[in-house]
Chains A and B, each alone.
Chain A
Amino acid sequence: MSFDAIVRGRTSGGRLLFTTITALSLAIMYAPVLYLLLASLNPDAQLGLVPPSRYSLKWYFALLDDGRLAGALRESALVGLATAALATPIGLSAALAYRAMTRLRGVFLLVILSAMFVPGTIEGLGLSATLRVVGLAPSWVTIAIGHLLWTLPFAAVVSLIGLSAVRPSTIAAARDLGAGPIRAFVDITLPLMRTNLISSFVFAFLLSLNEQARAYYLAGRQNTLPLYMFGAMNSGASPTIYAFSGAIIVFSVAVVALVFAGLVGQQSRRPRQAPGETSY
């Protein structure tokens, strides 16, 4: 049994090794999340696991009485939807621009992606100062602007992935049949990228929903959800905060699972690329 064979997973031992590593990694990644989720069903004030027979939605129902939480939820939803609604088409435009470019593509992509690596605090504070200079009052709009900068690279990458799967021959066929560039884009490219665009929207929304550092400096009088939770945890949180964390986890995982299922479904329906055919 060669080392190369093990590394390539061609032996049962190699497959077992990599399966074990993967399972362990996933367990380490998700154990805290799972723990918090189960602990949120503990009806006692103390965070911890209880027998399933004692599970209760008590703290989830208590969430309904928290007016400020509801306000923060509304603010985050508004910001998230606005962010996603803008990031998706702009991300798609960036992907299309990248595809159309013949020179400096790498630089363009680097510029687009670099926003991912700017620390949130610095970006938030800098943007806050800039928006102040231009006279834009702090509100959900200013948070959405900050979140747009944050989510745009992700949206562009998701669009690029979708675009790369659009076969040039399909577009060429549409053009041969008389479709103009806009018609070909609307009738061919967009439908083929539909799931990626939905993914882009959802990822942008979820990223916005969970973002704190930028929102702190850009928020108006109404805090967003992460800001509310941070404050609550620093000044005597009730166990409802566990329930709220649990609700956010379930919501986020469910949305991502739906998108993933859609992506897999779309992939299975796509025709295979012809040998030798290049994609974008």
Chain B
Amino acid sequence: MAHSIGNGSPPGLFSQLTRRQLVQNGLLGPGALAVGSLGLPRAARALDEINFWATGTLDIGDDGWRTFAYDSGVKVEFTDNGNDPGPVVAKLAAGNANDIYDVAGLQGGSEKELARRGLIAPWDISQIQNYASVWQWAKDIPYLTHDGKVYGIPTVINADSIIAIRDKAGSVDSYGVIFDPKLKGKTAMEDAWINSVIFTAIYLKNSENAKIAEPGNLTADELGLVMEFLIKHKRDRQFRTFWNGWEQGLQLLANQEVWVMTGWEPIVYAARMRGVDCYYAVPREGYEGWANNTILLKSAVVRGRTKAAHQLVNALFSGFYGCKLGLLRGYVVPTDNNVAYATAHANAFDPAGVRKLADHVKQKFAGKIYWQNTRPDNFQLYETWWQRLRNA
């Protein structure tokens, strides 16, 4: 359904692009938006600027942020924080992050600690009208609040499990496949305890009847049990490697060096684009749920950026951001506003695709979920054990 934008546009670039592509790519500037081509409500105005320091997962690119700015009135200066919660917390606590950024985004679990240390401020939900549209189970993530106040806003949400190459691994429905001796040397897990420990704990709890209460927040004894299990399998050469970062994870699959591994769902999409017939398993033990949460830095309040910060978060749930993020990365912003926005702007986004993505994630969360926690009570013990595993 390709049709050119603008009447009488000269042949060339514009004539080769659909209107949908133009909006998705942010090529439609404020002028086009102001005349109602997107049906957006407001004309150009002075923009509040927010320094948003977050994992690349939350990034919708310069063109996306341009459209976002026009739509919301908040100009976002996005800086990637590297996605590793440890250094992010360190930079907030002892470094300069509070001097330069207003809002941050990182994997959930650190909120309580940051709040206790006075490094972040609670959100005023009454200033975020779209918060009402956020799916309730996302609001109920246990790590979002401290002392009854909301410190983390679940901005991107998903559930992780196992990636399997179809003709090599067959039908996979359990994390047990990662530890299956028949696949020795052909399995992998991520070199990050925030994912690999909880996956193993979920498996041991549900399939090996291990005494584990909460896989996302292990006691010292439970952690020892999990880590000894991993170390034993590592010494038995069960794992091809512990992968690190998106690119390595993708390469392992694309080169078929591993046949099954715990990993992120977007890697499946990327691997398929590179010709690998792989799929994301539905594990009978349950998924590892994770949320990338938005937090308000204390210094933003001091600098008088509170209103703009709330405006930013409100806009994250207004629909455009969710549609754009889903399109770019396959991630879901937990609100039905995405579908509503796509329906209202079918010339820009595919409503059926947006709905399918949302339903897919909702389906995952209909079953057993164990929430990822980047700052469990014994997190320093986690670090120690993980180093021991690396050295094993």
Contact = CB atoms under 8 A, between A and B. Distances in A.
A129 B245 CA distance: 28
B314 interface: no
A74 to B, nearest CB: 15
A44 to B, nearest CB: 8
Contact of B91 (A47, A216, A232, A236): A216
Contacts of A227: 80, 82
Contacts of B83: 231, 234-235
Contacts of B62: 67-68
B245 A128 contact: no
Interface stretch (A6-14, A130-138, A181-189): A130-138
A210 interface: no
Quick one: which of A44, A216, A241 has the most chain B CB within 10 A?
A: A216
B330 to A, nearest CB: 9
Interface string A200-225: 00000000000000001110111100
A227 B82 CA distance: 7
Interface string A75-107: 000000000000000000000000000000000
B57 A235 contact: yes
A228 B56 CA distance: 10
A50 interface: no
Q: Interface residues of A toward B: which range?
A: 20 to 34
A125 B94 contact: yes
Nearest to A44: B274
Nearest to B269: A236
B77 interface: yes
A220 B91 contact: no
B140 to A, nearest CB: 26
A235 B246 contact: yes
Nearest to B56: A235
Given A232-B56, A234-B245, A45 B94 contact: no
Contacts of B99: 132, 137-138
A241 B96 contact: no
Interface in B62-114: 62, 77, 79-84, 87, 90-91, 94-96, 99-101
A221 B91 contact: no
Given A233-B247, A236-B266, A236-B329, A222 B95 contact: no
Contacts of A218: 96
Contacts of A231: 55-56, 80-83
A128 B95 contact: yes
Contacts of A138: 96, 99-100
Given A67-B62, A223-B79, A235-B56, A45 B273 contact: yes
Given A138-B99, A221-B77, A234 B56 contact: yes
Nearest to B330: A236
A47 B270 CA distance: 12
B96 A131 contact: yes
A59 to B, nearest CB: 14
A46 B256 CA distance: 12
B100 A220 contact: yes
A92 to B, nearest CB: 31
A237 interface: yes
A18 interface: no
A230 interface: yes
Interface in B262-287: 266, 270, 273-275
Interface in B250-264: 251, 254-255
A236 B270 contact: yes
A48 B255 CA distance: 9
A230 B88 CA distance: 14
B371 to A, nearest CB: 21
A274 to B, nearest CB: 54
Quick one: which of B81, B95, B255, B329 has the most chain A CB within 10 A?
A: B95
Contact of B55 (A45, A137, A235): A235
Contacts of B101: 221
A228 B246 contact: no
Nearest to B255: A48
A45 B274 contact: yes
A216 B254 contact: no
A128 B79 contact: no
Interface in B114-133: none
A46 B100 contact: no
Nearest to A235: B56
B82 A236 contact: no
A54 to B, nearest CB: 16
B80 A46 contact: no
A198 to B, nearest CB: 34
A234 B247 CA distance: 7
Given A68-B62, A231-B83, A236-B266, 14 more contacts: A48-B255, A128-B95, A129-B94, A216-B82, A217-B87, A217-B91, A217-B96, A221-B79, A232-B56, A233-B247, A234-B84, A235-B56, A235-B246, A237-B246
27 contacts: A44-B274, A47-B254, A125-B90, A125-B94, A128-B96, A129-B95, A137-B99, A217-B90, A217-B91, A217-B96, A221-B79, A221-B101, A222-B79, A223-B80, A227-B82, A231-B80, A231-B83, A232-B56, A233-B245, A233-B246, A234-B55, A234-B82, A234-B84, A234-B245, A235-B57, A235-B80, A235-B329
Top 10 A-B residue pairs of the complex, sorted by shortest distance between their CB atoms: A235-B56, A231-B80, A128-B95, A138-B96, A46-B274, A234-B83, A233-B247, A217-B95, A234-B245, A233-B245
